[in-house]
Chains A and B, each alone.
Chain A
Amino acid sequence: MKNSGYYSQFGGAFIPEILVPTFDELESAYLEARDDEAFWQEYLELMSTYSCRATPITLLDNLTEQLGGANIYVKREDLNHTGAHKANNVMGQGLLTKRMKKTRVIAETGAGQHGVATATMAAKFGFDCTIYMGAHDVQRQRPNVFWMEQMGATVVAVKEGSQTLKDAINEAFRDWVTNMDDTHYVLGTACGPHPFPEMVSWFQSIIGTEAREQMLERTGKLPSRVYACVGGGSNAMGIFSGFMDDNDVELVGVEAGGRGRGSGQHAARLAYDDASVGVAQGYKTFFLQDHDGQMQDTHSVSAGLDYVGVSPILSHLHETKQVRFEAATDDAVVEAMQRTVRYEGLIPALESSHAFAQAYKEAPMMSSDDNILINMSGRADKDIFTVADAVHDPKWKDFIIEKADAYRREMNNG
């Protein structure tokens, strides 16, 4: 595995010695699966029977009219089982776990979507399952924690560091260096040591392959621009991979602008100028870090984009200018989400709403001959508490207070 997994200067495998044989094994299993056509067939079969593939594309006709520019299409990854693109990666790694004859899976999760997806996969394939989740994220994504536990997973609230995604990744590695013999670490995004960035992007490429064909079939041409939100970068790599060789298609990655440029409270590694190249969590990329190389606290309204690093493949595509990076602020994101809910009846996750926000900003400046495509990486059921707070819904508050009172009475009587 010498010096493999580099995308210009980014990537690599900066792993503790104890995991070297484990990564060798994983890389071999992955390369064998890639060479084996039957593996991909099995994967497609699984995704079309267990999840909802192929997911459709939807034209947002009301908002297209309202905004008065490009025609806005949406790739519906929210229709996957468990409500996000995360299923694509997880089911693929589940099949690999079976091939490697391991019996336990672990995963980190931010928004909880990857955790839920991993827990369903473990339930289906009969694996033991432990999910690491920052304590802060456990608070803001309780509905997902509930479902993971229902599916038999152990959810560990990580209280170290910033108590978000990066800390969950560290804890998952700490588990793995002890239990690698029977355990596979299902990393949830296109980050981490080689071969994870490449392997996760491969499983997610199912999005882009479908989307390209669907746009051609539906509109007779390729879209002018494709938008995806960027946390670690897996849904973006997934949809972009379908259009990588199409020079006329502009790819736009949208990061978490949080409280805005210059605020120090965001997770924009490529769109803003605050990040620098570093090595952490096993790979080299742009990190939000200080002069000494200590990781800084990030902020986003969406747990899934609240992360210090970014896929090394996207850092490379940023440098080669094959992808343009923008950031959407918390306020713009909530607004875009509300608009999508109100006028289209679609409910994009806060993560995905970053891509919608940027697309809505640019669409009016484009022509009605242009089609644009937004990757709706997930749906927002999990965000109900966060969104209710953001929109200050009084009826929701009353409901929660009544529910809490009822539980309290129940406990006092019991």
Chain B
Amino acid sequence: MAKQETKLELSIRAAREKKDILLMTHIVLGYPSFDDSLRVVEDMVKAGVDLMELQIPFSEPMADGPVILKANAEALKAGATVDQSFEMAEKMAKEFDIPFLFMTYYNILFCQGVTSFVERCKSIGMQGCIVPDLPPAEGQDYLDAMHAAELAPIHIFTPNTPEQRMRFLSDNSSGFIYSVARKGVTGKDTAFSSELETYLAQCRNNTGLPLAVGFGVKSPEDINFLRGKADIAVVGSETIRVMEEKGVAAVKPFIETLVA
């Protein structure tokens, strides 16, 4: 597939001119409610977040750990639907001037129809998607639709991924590469070590796209470690944990400590 520089990649590169590392955060739409989701996103943008991953809840989030798993289940229990997720995402993308991405599992796309899901993403102003249970070999329809809509399909590098496979994944991606810092599911601790440094260098060598690093990133120290080694630090479960422990209002000060 001919590689195109998507709007997402261009805006990441532009933002990197001004900052040495960008911050991406993750929320589960509809958890604890859609109103709270909006409030949290507003606070995050004010606190200086550079891009955001909005997870459309799914009943079987296989790659997620306890915190995000629970958020998915609670959102669904409260009645969250895919339509509501789109409506909320549209509002966010209109109101806030940062790139928004969807993260969800393949069945959500499949049941909407892959092409109409992608066209809908385009029409509400989303810039890319992360679908962790859709390897490129199973996702040709998705890749074609994303390509046609000039949206970014984002794939994942892991410490188990051979270099040749990294290049293959990179060829099938645009926007950026999401590299997970360790094995396992979301929401567990990561050792920010020299081993991780070697792995990130390997990621760098095998893609020309900006590099985001997530899983276990939760403190200013972690983000400092990533400076110079990655373009984007991803904070996922930790913001949800902060919200659960200290309430929605605690999210903004938490993010401010990260970007300080």
Q: Given A178-B183, A293-B108, does the pair A3, B62 have CB atoms closer than 8 Å?
A: no
Chain B residues whose CB sits within 8 angstroms of the CB of A170 once the complex forms: 60-62
Say whether B137 faces chain A, with CB atoms less than 8 Å apart. yes
A279: B residues at CB distance < 8 A: 106-107, 110, 133
Q: How far is the CB of B39 from chain A (nearest CB, A)?
A: 24
For the complex formed, measure the closest distance between the CB of A168 and the CB atoms of chain B, giving whole angstroms: 12
B137–A291 touching, CB < 8 Å: no
**Minimum C-beta distance from B77 to chain A (A):** 11
Contacts A14-B134, A293-B110, A293-B111 given; indicate if A174 touches B158 (C-beta within 8 A). Answer: no
A295→B59 contact, CB < 8 A: yes
Give residues of chain A (165-193) contacting chain B, Cβ–Cβ below 8 Å: 166, 170, 173-174, 177-180
C-alpha gap A284/B60 in the complex (Å) = 14
B interface residues, how many (CB within 8 angstroms)? 39
Residues of B within 8 A of A295 (CB): 59-60
Bound CA–CA A277/B111 (angstroms): 8
Does B220 sit at the interface, judged by CB under 8 A? no
Residue B138 CB within 8 A of the other chain = yes
Set of chain B residues within 8 Å of A16, measured between Cβ atoms: 62-63, 132-133, 156
B180 within 8 A of A: yes
Contacting residues, chain A, for B61 (C-beta < 8 A)? 170
Residues of A near B257 (CB, < 8 A) are none
Q: Is B212 an interface residue (CB 8 A)?
A: no
Identify the interface centre among A1, A18, A282: most chain B CB within 10 Å of its CB: A18
Complex Cα distance, B185 from A180, in Å, reads 12
Within 8 A of B (CB), among A271-304: 276-282, 284, 289, 291-295
Which residues from A are CB-within-8-Å of B107? 278-280, 289, 293
CB-contacts of B146-180 with A (<8 A): 155-158, 160-162, 165, 169, 180
When C-beta atoms are compared, the residue in chain A nearest to B63 turns out to be A16
What's the Cα separation between A292 and B162 when bound, in Å? 35
Q: Is A17 an interface residue (CB 8 A)?
A: yes
Chain A residue contacts of B108, Cβ below 8 A: 292-293
**Chain A neighbourhood of B253, CB < 8 A:** none
B28 within 8 A of A: no
With a CB–CB cut-off of 8 A, which chain A residues contact B135? Answer: 13-15, 17, 20
Residues of A with C-beta under 8 A to B62: 16, 170, 173-174, 281-282
The listed residue (A3, A15, A160, A291) touching B133 by CB distance below 8 A is: A15
Docked pose: A276 CA to B111 CA in angstroms: 9
Q: Which residue of A lies closest to B165 (CB)?
A: A20
Interface centre among B81, B134, B137 (most CB of A within 10 A): B137
Determine if B132 and A17 form an interchain contact, defined as CB atoms under 8 angstroms apart.
yes
B39-95 interface (Cβ within 8 A of A):
58-63, 65, 69-70, 73, 76, 81-82
Q: Is the CB of B73 within 8 A of A161?
A: yes
Complex-state Cα separation, A276 to B137, whole angstroms = 23
Is residue B184 within 8 Å, beta carbon to beta carbon, of the partner chain? yes
**Most chain B CB atoms below 10 A, which of A1, A22, A170:** A170
Contact of A14 among B112, B133, B156, B180 (CB under 8 A): B133
Complex Cα–Cα for A81 and B63 (A): 35
Chain B window 194-229, contacts with chain A (Cβ cutoff 8 Å), 1 for yes, 0 for no: 000000000000000000000000000000000000
B112: chain A residues at CB < 8 Å are 293
State whether B81 touches A18 (Cβ < 8 A).
no
Residues of A within 8 A of B156 (CB): 16-18
Verify B161–A21 contact, CB threshold 8 A: yes
Q: How far is the CA of A242 from the CA of B183 in the complex (A)?
A: 41
Q: How far is the CA of A284 from the CA of B138 in the complex (A)?
A: 11
A281 to B58, CA, bound (A): 12
Task: Please name all residues of chain A whose beta carbon is closer than 8 Å to the beta carbon of B165 when the two chains form the complex.
Answer: 20-21
Q: Are A14 and B106 in contact (CB under 8 A)?
A: yes
Are B81 and A278 in touch, CB under 8 angstroms? no
Q: Per-residue CB proximity of B122-144 to A under 8 Å, as 1/0? A: 00000000001111011000000
Contact in complex: A166, B60 (CB < 8 Å): yes
Alpha-carbon gap, A1 to B168, bound state (A): 14
Residue among A12, A13, A14, A291 having the largest count of chain B Cβ atoms under 10 Å: A14
Q: Give the contacting residue for A180; candidates B106, B111, B132, B183; CB below 8 A.
A: B183
Contact pick for A174, options B65, B70, B137, B160, CB 8 Å: B65
Q: Point out the residues of chain B lying under 8 angstroms from A281, CB to CB.
A: 60, 62
Nearest B residue to A19, CB-CB: B160
Question: A61 to B156, alpha carbons, bound, how many Å?
Answer: 60
With A18-B156, A295-B59, A295-B60 known, 15 other A-B pairs at CB within 8 A are A16-B133, A17-B158, A17-B161, A17-B169, A20-B160, A160-B69, A174-B185, A177-B185, A277-B110, A278-B107, A278-B110, A279-B110, A280-B105, A280-B107, A293-B82
Binding site for A on B (CB under 8 A): 58-63, 65, 69-70, 73, 76, 81-82, 105-108, 110-112, 132-135, 137-138, 155-158, 160-162, 165, 169, 180, 183-185
7 A–B contact pairs at CB < 8 A?
A1-B137, A12-B138, A16-B62, A17-B158, A18-B180, A292-B111, A294-B58
3 nearest A-B residue pairs (beta carbon): A293-B111, A178-B184, A293-B107
